[in-house]
Chain A
Amino acid sequence: AQSVTQLGSHVSVSEGALVLLRCNYSSSVPPYLFWYVQYPNQGLQLLLKYTTGATLVKGINGFEAEFKKSETSFHLTKPSAHMSDAAEYFCAVTPQSSASKIIFGSGTRLSIRP
């Protein structure tokens, strides 16, 4: 069955430092890939998604992610962290065989140190 693994349940970086949140999927056929952000006491918002085309995807708030088929990865990055980036981030996939289904990873809580 399709699964998503997020390495690190909690990541802490200094303000201005690089943010790297890791996501790997398990599937012989690459799925469609997403990153979502959840601020405290809110639902989830889409940051970015990869379906086809360019493997480097730019999203909102300065985030981007690169699809690497050889590594079955879709890591999320941001060059310079801001205090407002503190939130929980979820990687998600939609199998090509079931476009209506979305499977989420366990989430990574991002903390920003002043």
Chain B
Amino acid sequence: DVKVTQSSRYLVKRTGEKVFLECVQDMDHENMFWYRQDPGLGLRLIYFSYDVKMKEKGDIPEGYSVSREKKERFSLILESASTNQTSMYLCASTPRGGAIFSGNTIYFGEGSWLTVV
């Protein structure tokens, strides 16, 4: 079974803290994604990576950075957490070519609920 594991399900952090959200996938997927999910806004793409050390900005990259030093791991970093970053964060992965090919799909982690106080 493919697994995308997000190491922290629930976190509470203080404003200004540096926050790391870790994601690991075990299927040797090339593509990895970070989304945030907010009520009424759906999933918005923060960053994605299509290979080790490669990254591209999504729709809402401001206030975030990412790191992909190993193929299986994609980290989301909040350099200085703010209350408007309180949200649910979802990590996902797909094989090269994305979810369009028969048999391919995007696999999601269970989500990380971050509260910034």
Contacts and interface: CB of A to CB of B under 8 A. Distances in A.
A46 B42 contact: no
B83 interface: no
B40 A34 contact: no
A94 B100 contact: yes
Interface residues of B, number: 28
Contacts, number: 68
Per DSSP, chain A at the interface is loop
Contact of B42 (A43, A99, A104): A104
B110 A42 contact: yes
Nearest to A108: B42
Interface stretch (B11-19, B65-73, B74-82, B90-98): B90-98
A44 B90 CA distance: 9
A99 B106 contact: no
A9 interface: yes
Interface in A25-43: 32, 34, 41-43
Contacts of B34: none
22 contacts: A9-B40, A32-B100, A42-B110, A42-B111, A43-B110, A44-B90, A44-B106, A44-B108, A46-B106, A100-B31, A100-B94, A100-B97, A100-B98, A101-B45, A102-B33, A102-B106, A103-B45, A104-B43, A104-B44, A106-B40, A106-B41, A106-B42
